[in-house]
Structure 1
Amino acid sequence: MRVLILTAGLGTRLRPHTYSKPKPLLSVAGKPVLAHIIDDLLDVQIDELICVTGYLGDQIERYVREQYTMPMRFLVQTEMRGQADAVYLAKDVQGPMLVVFGDGLVGIDKEHLNAHPEAGVIYCQEVEDPSRFGVAVVEGERITRLVEKPTTPVSNLAVVGFYYVPEAQRLMEAISYMMEHQIQTKGEYYLADALQIMIDRGERFRAEVVPMWRDCGTFEALLDTNRYLLAHGHSRSEPVVQSMIIPPVHLGPGVQVEHAVIGPNVSLGAGAVVRNAVISDSIINAGTTVNGVVLTGSVVGEKANVTGTVYELNIGDAATISL
């Protein structure tokens, strides 16, 4: 099976971090989002990994080539014309294909995928507010309609950015038809529109509800995903000096922690240095130094320096001090 991962987005909602690094390479629980996606698919028989890159795509290609050994190639989306346009760059692919959005983590049934089912699968999760998502309308076990951000409730099954297509060429034919007839949503070619064409032509897709879906497309979502992963098996420890560790945390290789309180829900990247600080619910990336501050709900990039002041105070009763 071919696995096609879409990684070309600009990541504007994650600036300033995405000024220097593409969104899929931002770290949660000790490694990039893209690494979590690929590692979770290693149980699937991958004949070829295809990454569609764009903005800062050379970083993505370099990282994947350094970390993985399966057959792979990289296609560049030079114009941001939508998800379906990105998929169409792989128009030569034949046979079963998994299409994955590169900005979220999804738990799927990989044994079922290895059986190469004849029907397509659109992975979904039940949500309370479907108006924020593209949703799948289901009759029996079959998807009949895909609706983008419905203003009136039609389904609570949000589409999570994972799609299994039993024959890639039929998807490419649908995208080609879209482009020929200029079928666009908000000026872009959406994958949902191509899948709807396939459904209207009689292609069978079923909705599979996933047990886990974590978006990584915003600052808040990145921290929420970090919290989730740390609580579900991605914590890691290292020796510390006169410090308190409040689990769960991920301390990368070579971190130095001295006279600090770390946690809960903190990831420290490899080689990070933390002294005289209190950090909770935060991501501190590799090579960064944090000294003399209190941080919570924070994301700090690589090789940064965050320095505050450590006070020695001798304060009497009923005093009010602002620092």
Structure 2
Amino acid sequence: MNLIIPMAGKGKRLRPHTLTTPKPLIPIAGKPIVQRLVEDIAEVAPETIKKIGFVIGDFEDEVKDQLREIAKEVGAEAHFFVQETAEGTAHAIACANEILEGKVTVAFSDTLFRADFKLNPDDDGIIWTKRVDDPSAFGVVKTNEDGIITDFIEKPSTFVSDQAIIGIYYFKKGEDLRDEINHLIENNIRAGGEFQLTMALENMKAKGTNFTVGTVNEWLDCGNKAITVESNSRYLGFLKGQNLISSEAKLENCEIKEPVFIGAGSELSNSIIGPNVSIGKNCKVSDSKISESLIQNNTTLTGVELTNSMIGNFVNLEGNPKSVSLGDYSEW
């Protein structure tokens, strides 16, 4: 099975953090978003992932090396495809045309999930969904009594279904998806000015592909600061009970309210940490109280009381702000 992960977006809603770090490499519970996604896909896939196609922007070699390691950890080979212009979801997938063959899963990089099912590789196609209270902001699907998808509806103004498409798809024949996407692009068939994946799915359905629904238990978004902090908290909740504090971290006179992740090399003293806090590698935290927050690497926090905060790398923060979003190398 091959896996394609479109991740070329600029992550504008998550600035300033994405000015220096591509959004898929922002850590959630101590691991980059894209690594969490790859591991979770590998968990529900009954077959080994052979190739991972990362559809990227103008990323540095250091980022590519990190993505190679992420692929290697699940036994896969990394391939890189550059999306030079953003022209829609189908266009992003088309960039990875050369590995759109055989069994293929497509997963957009800002989607995390929890599921208790195993993907059935014999299905023609699977569209992963989550039931939502307000489907008007999402693409949704309708199904018949046999669980086969009958309609794809983008952001319905009146209620037709509460099964929202979360951005993960499985195709038994990747070639069929490739052909339909190429047809859209070659004939400049757009919706809203872009080449849309749902149009390719509709064409495949019309030609006999039976799409079923894979319903996830949890769907976590990482679109902006507040949602990313919340997703970090919820993912830590999934891991509660596991030892998330590195043996290479040093804690002195600290109260830890689980779940909390603390990375290697970090030193904490005279502080109350948690619940739902991630602290990356080589951080120094003293005389502080922190809850519901995501702190990246090499950051120093002194005498702070934080909640609902997201702090980048190499930040130096001293004082008493309550809720902040600080990018890399910030001083306060």
- TM-score, normalising length: structure 2: 0.88
Q: Percent sequence identity over matched residues?
A: 35
Partner Cα separation in structure 1 for residue 122 and residue 62 of structure 2: 34
User: Which of 296, 300, 315 does residue 307 from structure 2 map onto?
Assistant: 296
Correspondence 1:163 to 2:169? yes
Correspondence 1:26 to 2:26? yes
Q: How many residues align?
A: 307
User: Which of 259, 266, 273 does residue 270 from structure 2 map onto?
Assistant: 259
User: Which of 202, 208, 220 does residue 202 from structure 1 map onto?
Assistant: 208
Aligned positions of 1:181-200 closer than 5 A? 181-200=187-206
| Contact persistence 1:21–1:59 (CA under 8 A) | no
User: Which of 120, 126, 142 does residue 125 from structure 2 map onto?
Assistant: 120
Partner Cα separation in structure 1 for residue 204 and residue 6 of structure 2: 20
Per-residue deviation at 1:71? 1.6
Extract structure 1 runs of 4+ deviating beyond 6 A. Answer: none
Tell me which residue corresponds to 1:314. none
Per-residue deviation at 1:286? 0.8
| Contact persistence 1:258–1:274 (CA under 8 A) | yes
User: Which of 130, 155, 177 does residue 135 from structure 2 map onto?
Assistant: 130
Correspondence 1:94 to 2:97? no
- CA RMSD in angstroms comes to 1.7
User: Which of 112, 118, 130 does residue 105 from structure 1 map onto?
Assistant: 112
Partner Cα separation in structure 1 for residue 59 and residue 193 of structure 2: 23
Per-residue deviation at 1:231? 1.2
Aligned positions of 1:1-323 closer than 5 A? 1-43=1-43, 44=45, 45-56=48-59, 58-69=61-72, 70-92=76-98, 93-108=100-115, 111-113=118-120, 116-140=121-145, 141-233=147-239, 236-237=244-245, 238-308=249-319
Q: Deviation per CA, 1:52-109, whole angstroms, max 9, x where unpaired?
A: 1115364542211234422221100011111111111222332110000000112346
Deviates more, 1:89-98 or 1:234-243: 234-243
Q: What secondary structure does 2:55 align onto?
A: strand
Q: What runs of 5+ residues in structure 1 fail to find an aligned partner?
A: 310-323
| Contact persistence 1:22–1:57 (CA under 8 A) | no
Matched letter for residue 144 of structure 2 = E
Partner Cα separation in structure 2 for residue 249 and residue 61 of structure 1: 29
Matched letter for residue 297 of structure 1 = N
Partner Cα separation in structure 1 for residue 316 and residue 136 of structure 2: 41
Deviates more, 1:43-52 or 1:4-13: 43-52
Residues 153, 75 of structure 1: CA spacing in aligned structure 2 closer, same or farther, 3 A cutoff?
Answer: same
Matched letter for residue 293 of structure 1 = V
| Contact persistence 2:52–2:71 (CA under 8 A) | no
Q: What runs of 5+ residues in structure 2 fail to find an aligned partner?
A: 321-332
Q: Deviation per CA, 1:209-238, whole angstroms, max 9, x where unpaired?
A: 111211111212211111111111166125
| Contact persistence 2:263–2:280 (CA under 8 A) | yes
Matched letter for residue 224 of structure 1 = E
Partner Cα separation in structure 2 for residue 284 and residue 144 of structure 1: 44
Q: Deviation per CA, 1:294-317, whole angstroms, max 9, x where unpaired?
A: 1111100011111127xxxxxxxx
Matched letter for residue 217 of structure 2 = P
Name the larger-Rg structure: 1
- TM-score, normalising length: structure 1: 0.90
